[in-house]
Amino acid sequence: MVKHNNVIPNGHFRKHWQNYVKTWFNQPARKTRRRQARQKKAVKIFPRPTAGPLRPIVHGQTLKYNMKVRDGRGFSLEELKAAGIPKKLAPTIGIAVDHRRRNRSLESLQANVQRLKTYKAKLVVFPRRARKVKAGDSTPEELANATQVQGSYLPIVRERPSVELVKVTDEMKEFKAYYKLRLERTNKRHYGARLKKAAEAEKEEKKGLYVQGYSPTIHPTTSTDLSSIATFDVLSGSSAPQHSDLTMSRVIHGTMSAISWGILLPMGAITAHYLRHIQALGPAWFYAHAGIQLFAFVLGTVGPNTMNKFRKYWKSYHHFVGYSCVVLGFVNVFGGFEVMGASRSYAKLSYCLGLSTMIGVCIALEVNSWVVFGRKSKEEKMRREGLIGSSDKGSSGIHNHN
């Protein structure tokens, strides 16, 4: 009994399959007929070979089959010319010709030329007419001994690569193929970077020996190049290096420059800016300023004259030149560190610490000056308003801030 909603059984098992089957019961007869056809063809084309015309050796197409050789369509015109066979004569003596084919390999060209020469040496040419022999036809003896070639002639020999058996050594067993492959991949990946690094190293070694033709060029200005001294004899063409210890002179020069430009000059500016307001010092601040500045300004050594009508111009000029020298002094000291190759030395660190201390002192003195200036301004205002008398004047000994 059929259950559920299934497909109703409807099997088609009575098909006339015999009507759709093709048989080849005539193979024995076909074999006989093909053999008879070959025999008739051999009689018809006698004395030519039964395999047809001679064809060249060519390589298969694509990367998969280009190592295999096979029969080609026909010989190229270049191969026929190299073998000394005219292109119009070749088809008449059993040589296939393909005028579209081109030779892109010298090896295949030489192989096919040799194939043509071998064929030409074994070739027997029958005359068109038995009583009229032309140039290039074979002799009667060769014609009498000639036989028709059955099957393939000058077959293509496919050489198989020979396998050489060797004994496995301990060195072969210890060889790590995976490690070697990884190493070679790494070497290939870093080849360009390593080559560039080696070129830069070689350039660094030759640094300082810069010559173009017969003229010297600018060499680097590093400390090593600047300290190198040599004597060159123009007449003999010889040179001799001179060993001179300039380290101590360089250190002394750097120390004196740092003290003069980086310490004394700013201290002179600080002295003139902050000590000239202290009344108790009198003109001593000016002489201290002039001494510290090492007589940098000739006109400044005459002494301050506050009553001169050109005082305001001199003051502007003096302040501008003085502060400019202070800034240039700092720049000069740091430039000296760079030239000496001490940009990261303890000497530069010590100077930076001293400079920072000096800047901190300047900030503290500046704050104090503005506090005193504010206090004096307030007292002067109260004095003008009559709130305090002239006897209550402060005894701080500090004049008004200019």
pLDDT one-digit tens code per residue, 340-362: 777 677 777 888 888 888 888 88
Residue 376: predicted pLDDT:
82
Helix (H, G, I), strand (E, B) or coil at 371: helix
pLDDT at 63 over 90: yes
Q: Which residue has the higher pLDDT, 344 or 157?
A: 157
- Write out the H or E segment, with its range, that includes residue 108: helix 106-122
Q: What is the mean pLDDT of the segment spanning 310-318?
A: 67
Q: How far is CA 239 from CA 223, 230, 233, 375, in A?
A: 21, 7, 6, 75
Residue 321's pLDDT band (cuts 50, 70, 90): confident
Residue 169's pLDDT band (cuts 50, 70, 90): very high
Q: Burial level of 258, CB count in 10 A (0-12/13-18/19+)?
A: buried
Q: What is the mean pLDDT of the segment spanning 189-210?
A: 82
Mean pLDDT of the chain: 79
pLDDT at 123 over 50: yes
DSSP character string of 302-347:
G---TT-TTHHHHHHHHHHHHHHHHHHHHHHHHHHHHHTT-TTSHH
The 10s digit of each residue's pLDDT in 232-245 is 677 776 766 665 55
Backbone angles phi, psi at 174, to 5 degrees: -80, -10
Residue 186's pLDDT band (cuts 50, 70, 90): very high
pLDDT at 396 over 60: no
